[in-house]
Amino acid sequence: QTLIDGQLLALQKPPATDPAPAAGLSTRTVFSQSFGADSNLNNAITATNVTLTYPDADLDLPLAKAYQPQAGGATTTVLQWTGLVPQGQHIWLLQAEGHARHTARQTTRYQQAELHATWLQNPQAAEQWIGRADYTQLHWGGKKLYNSERLGLQRQWVHAFDATSCRTAAGLELENRRYPGSSTLDGLYRGAVVTVVCQQQGSLNFQLRTGLDQPHRAGRVGGQQRQSEARAQWQFKACGNQWVAEYSLQLQQDASGYSPLLSRNAARRIVRQALRLETSRQLDWPAFGDPQWFASADIARQASNLQAFVTSRKAVQTGLRWAWPRDAAGRNGAKTSGKVADEEH
């Protein structure tokens, strides 16, 4: 969930009590610096050897150490800018976000840039249209690995239950995905998405999406891909800290065989699960700008019927986060993105 999603979440209040936004542009800038450890910096497969399936016999080959999981430390820098522009009843939410991870090896460093623009028809209404455009670019190991452009349109409805306010949205998405170093992997994704967001003292966010990724060129390994995803996020307060728990489940099914050398051209199936837990606390450090301390733990596992696509990863990090302007209580009140570049490739 990016920072702009958090801004959208802040608008999920009953229409009767949500005041109209002030006129003009209001902005927020967030900077965070963290360090930690990762069990699989290079996103390598878990196997130490790969079996190649030939017509007459199978050949078991060991993987070179460079292609096995590399554990180590990493520092991550994140800079986010968000702007809110009211236009009568309409609202524009704009965001620019950059991530940079530094590791000892050049091959496991990455830089990721994202641009988002979201149009809300009328956040105070019982129903509204929401349009969204996103752009993402990822550089890995000094090379441009991936970029995408996404357009989305959703219809949103308000549901109020006593002190709980919920909004349900359903719509369509279109995403162009490109891999500059491997253009045969390029594809166009078309799909549907359903989101439910509920707020009381904390917040719950559920999202389901499913669709087809059609290759730009014939001959892409695996052909057309059926992709589905379920995400859940819970934000709450406990023990004096703010907590965020996130879980995601992603499914991918290829329409045709991946390679005759892998399980005799079996169609690839992938199941990816990820769990993230973050806690944060405001620090009373005026000399340092009253930053927010945060710490997080990530666990991700990918299962597949093809040995060459089974991966796992564990990571922990901690750091400080600053936001400008601060709110009236002097709190930064910002949340870093839970989306990591590892999910982009």
Burial class of 82 by CB neighbour count within 10 A (0 to 12, 13 to 18, 19+): buried
State whether residue 185 is helix, strand or coil.
helix
Q: CA-to-CA distance for 23 and 178, rounded, in angstroms?
A: 39
Question: What is the DSSP code (8-state) at residue 340?
Answer: -
The whole-number pLDDT of residue 8 equals 57
End-to-end, the C-alpha distance of the chain in Å comes to 17
91: confidence class by pLDDT, cuts 50, 70, 90: very high
Polymer length in residues for the chain: 345
**Count of CB atoms situated within 10 Å of the CB of 245:** 14
24: confidence class by pLDDT, cuts 50, 70, 90: confident
The answer to whether residues 93 and 121 touch, using CB atoms and an 8 Å cutoff, is: no
Pairing of strands 26-38, 72-87: antiparallel
Tell me the pLDDT of the chain averaged across its residues: 89
Q: CA-to-CA distance for 130 and 167, rounded, in angstroms?
A: 12
Q: How far is CA 149 from the centre of its chain?
A: 15
Beta-strand (E) ranges in 162-291? 164-178, 187-199, 203-215, 225-238, 241-257, 267-282
The whole-number pLDDT of residue 165 equals 84
Least confident of 86-100, 154-168, 214-228: 154-168
For the cut 70, the answer to whether the pLDDT of residue 340 exceeds it is: no
Burial class of 163 by CB neighbour count within 10 A (0 to 12, 13 to 18, 19+): exposed
Q: Note the pLDDT tens digit of each residue in 276-326.
A: 999 999 999 998 889 999 999 999 999 999 999 999 999 999 999 999 987
The whole-number pLDDT of residue 160 equals 76
Burial letters 16-53, b for 16+ CB under 10 A, else e:
eeeeebeeeeeebebbbebebebbbbbbbbebeebeee
Element (H, E) at 157: strand 143-161
The whole-number average pLDDT for the span 75-90 is 95
Give the residue among 272, 198, 274 at the shortest CA–CA distance from 234. Answer: 198
For the cut 50, the answer to whether the pLDDT of residue 12 exceeds it is: no
Q: Note the pLDDT tens digit of each residue in 203-262.
A: 999 999 999 999 999 889 999 999 999 999 999 999 999 999 999 999 999 999 999 999
Specify the higher pLDDT residue, 337 or 160: 160
The whole-number pLDDT of residue 164 equals 77
State whether residue 201 is helix, strand or coil.
coil
